[in-house]
Amino acid sequence: MKNFIAIILISFLGSCSSRKEEPLAFIQRFNNKDLGILLNVSIEARNERNDSLHYYYSHTKIENETLTIPAFECFDNFYKSDSSTYNKTFIKLLKFKGVNENSPFNYAKEYAKKLDKIYRELGVIDLESTPKLGRFIEFTLDERCKVYYLEDSSTLTPYWKDKFSKLQKVDDKWFYECK
């Protein structure tokens, strides 16, 4: 019986220590990556029937509006189904990004492609960046761990200042928490 309890205890302690390694490995992989394109963006994946994670839209927040952009792999089909709405959205995206581009459609498609590429590289369930809360990105690694990239601490709301003070700090830009 003592051996059984020891095995359970060692397994539990091992799982606790691995929780801290996951966020640190994630941070190490993306520490020198330009994550700027993800500021003001939210992507939430859905678990598909084959247990793969997939998303259909990204949401870019500008001022008091959220622009819904189709995921790159769905881009053309969604555009064909509602081109008038997407044309308005793509024009707003182009203006928000301050890009000198003749085709809002082409810019939005390239933007969706870049988001898709980095999202797949990240391998997270979802990510959230809400400008009115502060300039940071919250990455959900799994149901128990989140990693935070903080671009500018002076932009945080009081709630988030307090939240960041309670997170595990890696450096001035990276934080994490695991349940």
- Kindly report, residue by residue over 116-140, the tens digit of the pLDDT: 999 999 989 999 999 999 999 999 9
- Report yes or no: 23 and 141 within 8 Å, Cβ to Cβ: yes
Determine contact, residues 152/178, Cβ cutoff 8 Å: no
Q: What's the Cα-to-Cα distance from 31 to each of 35, 49, 71, 116, 159, rounded to whole Å?
A: 9, 33, 25, 19, 25
Q: What is the reported pLDDT for 63?
A: 82
Q: What is the DSSP letter of 54?
A: E
What pLDDT sits at residue 48? Answer: 60
List the domain boundaries for the chain: 20-39+129-179, 42-123
Q: What is the Cα gyration radius of the chain? A: 19
Q: What is the pLDDT of residues 61-115, one digit of tens each?
A: 988 899 999 999 999 999 999 999 999 999 999 988 888 878 999 999 999 999 9
Contact 139, 146 (CB under 8 A): yes
For 109, 151, 170, the CA distances from 165, given in Å and listed in that order, are 38, 15, 12
Average pLDDT rounded to a whole number, residues 37-44: 94
For the cut 50, the answer to whether the pLDDT of residue 34 exceeds it is: yes
Residue range 138-172, pLDDT digits in tens: 999 998 999 999 999 999 999 999 999 999 999 99
Q: Contact 121/127 with Cβ under 8 angstroms?
A: no
- Can you read off the two tokens belonging to residue 48? 């598909």
Q: Quick one: pLDDT at residue 126?
A: 92
